[in-house]
Amino acid sequence: MSDLEAVLAHIDADQSAALDRLFALLGIPSISTDPAYAGDCAHCAETVTADLAAMGFEARACPTAGHPIVVAHNRAASGRSVLFYGHYDVQPVDPLDLWDRPPFEPAIETLGDGTKVIRARGSSDDKGQFMTFVEACRAWVAVTGGLPIPVSIMLEGEEESGSPSLAAFLAEHGEELRADLGLICDTGMWDAATPAITTMLRGLCGEEIVIRGASRDLHSGMYGSAAANANHVLARVLADLRDDQGRVAIPGFYDGVPEIPDSLREQWEALDFDVAEFLGGVGLAVPAGEAGRSALEMIWARPTAEVNGMGGGYQGAGFKTVIPAEARAKVSFRLVFDQDPDKIRAAFRDFVRARIPADCTVEFHPHGNGRAVAFDTANRAFAAAQRALSEEWGRPAAFIGAGGSIPIAGDFKNKLGMDVILTGFGLDDDGIHSPNEKYNLESFHKGIRSWARILAALAE
């Protein structure tokens, strides 16, 4: 029996104990955004640190201006070094009355189709995910006495609250953390049976705009048509964001956005994505956005302009005939390839100002700023990871894009100079950030086996 075969057998035999360790973490309410849970976040960091130390890692919980960041190293092996990232903090659980069971009392449930799931806050995002890697390391150490390659681990405690301490931490500890390759498990499968490696992530730029007209809300009978209506002004701005073909109409918006290569388009077409099923799952049927673009292309490789919230004037019960003095909206842009978020922000502000009447004003409040990131799959590590995943799941692992943003992936590439393999085992129906979050038991078990295989493949 090879070392890898022995490690996989150990993982199978140790599954009950692995679940116990995961359940212990899931029972800690490490909600980073609420100061009332600061003690629980510290406790979670200390628990993980002690566990890694017991496995032979040099581990410590590093203080920050917020919650601790766990750093651990096991660099005894030679070969390609890796830095694994995860986060131990979780989202708030509100509204609590929508949970079918207490969110921090994890349990195994069997769904109607027989699928077994782990039900708890953080089960998928991100404790269940990062513990797949930790358990794979544990199995290698238990069977062989060490790891096949040098491994460092960084577990953040503020990912769900905007990572306010991360930039300063990376600036201070960058040299210690630098490795040949980054690994991140905060992503998902292509479907429940097909593993995936995410090779591109969109950037993000957000703006809140506040438009003000009259000095107060006005009586629509006395001032109607004669006075500027802040809601009308806002509506015009937002309506002008897209043309009749669905393209964003801000001048210069598509600078730095190339057409994707035919080879990549062919790969995505081979995934046999069912747009009717995708939209039907949320009660829709007709694709929106840019005419002539596939849904996958729009989600993964095209930029967006979305109105996330808007309001102005009277919105209570009944009716109040006013001309609102103020209207506001939150607008976000998902960015791709070489789009510059600073230029997008400036162009959007110019676009808005050009549509504001002379006796109205507008102010802007920025929210979020980050570039898109893509990784070169020609790096041999990607082929090794793809092969390892395919062997475990019995299906070719897909190279996919992601519509969301994971800022740490960009930091790893741009600040630490590392390509990053993003491979996780979450599913679209895991309900992360929502009541009744779950993680499939198969995702946890085969996720551990997958990372064990990837570590072996990277050692080759």
Q: Is the peptide bond before 126 cis (omega within 30 degrees of 0)?
A: yes
Q: Is residue 341 part of a domain?
A: yes
Same-domain check for residues 351 and 453: no
Same-domain check for residues 380 and 361: no
Last residue of a domain, one of 322, 353, 370: 370
- Residues facing 421 on adjacent strands: 183
CA–CA separation, 46 and 97 (whole Å)? 30
Tell me, what DSSP letter sits at residue 360? -
The helix/strand/coil state of 5 is helix
Same-domain check for residues 164 and 27: yes
Report CA-CA distances (Å) from 101 to 73, 110, 299, 381, 430.
Answer: 37, 14, 34, 41, 16
CB-count exposure of residue 98 (10 Å: 0-12, 13-18, 19+): exposed
Amino acid at 388: A
Same-domain check for residues 25 and 89: yes
> Which structure tokens are listed for 127?
């404790």
119-123's contacts with Cβ under 8 Å and 24+ in sequence apart are 119/436, 119/437, 119/438, 120/23, 120/26, 120/27, 120/437, 120/438, 121/26, 121/29, 121/90, 121/91, 121/93, 121/437, 122/25, 122/26, 122/30, 122/90, 122/437, 123/26, 123/430, 123/437, 123/438, 123/439
Q: Is residue 319 part of a domain?
A: yes
Q: Is residue 62 part of a domain?
A: yes
- Residues facing 93 on adjacent strands: none
Q: Strands 58-62 and 69-74, how do they pair?
A: antiparallel
Q: Is residue 263 part of a domain?
A: no
Task: Using alpha carbons only, give the angle 243, 261, 304 rounded to the nearest 5 degrees.
Answer: 30
Same-domain check for residues 322 and 454: no
What is the domain-level CATH number for residue 135?
Answer: 3.40.630.10
Tell me, what DSSP letter sits at residue 391? H
pTM: 0.87
Counting the structural domains of the chain, the total is 2
CA–CA separation, 240 and 228 (whole Å)? 18
Per-residue pLDDT of the chain (460 residues; tens, 9 = 90+): 899 999 999 999 999 999 999 999 999 999 999 999 999 999 999 999 999 999 999 999 999 999 999 999 999 999 999 999 999 999 999 999 999 999 999 999 999 999 999 999 999 999 999 999 999 999 999 999 999 999 999 999 999 998 999 999 999 999 999 999 999 999 999 999 999 999 999 999 999 999 999 999 999 999 999 999 999 999 999 999 999 999 999 999 999 999 998 888 888 988 889 999 999 988 999 999 999 999 999 999 999 999 999 999 999 999 999 999 999 999 999 999 999 999 999 999 999 999 999 999 999 999 888 899 989 888 899 999 999 999 999 999 999 998 888 889 999 998 999 999 999 999 999 999 999 999 999 999 999 999 999 999 999 9
Same-domain check for residues 27 and 113: yes
> Which structure tokens are listed for 1?
């029996």
What is the pLDDT at residue 370?
87
What is the pLDDT at residue 314?
94
Same-domain check for residues 313 and 418: no
| Structural domain of 352 | 203-257+303-370
CA–CA separation, 351 and 346 (whole Å)? 9
Report CA-CA distances (Å) from 110 to 113, 114, 245, 439.
Answer: 8, 6, 46, 12
Same-domain check for residues 240 and 386: no
CB-count exposure of residue 304 (10 Å: 0-12, 13-18, 19+): middle
Same-domain check for residues 17 and 160: yes
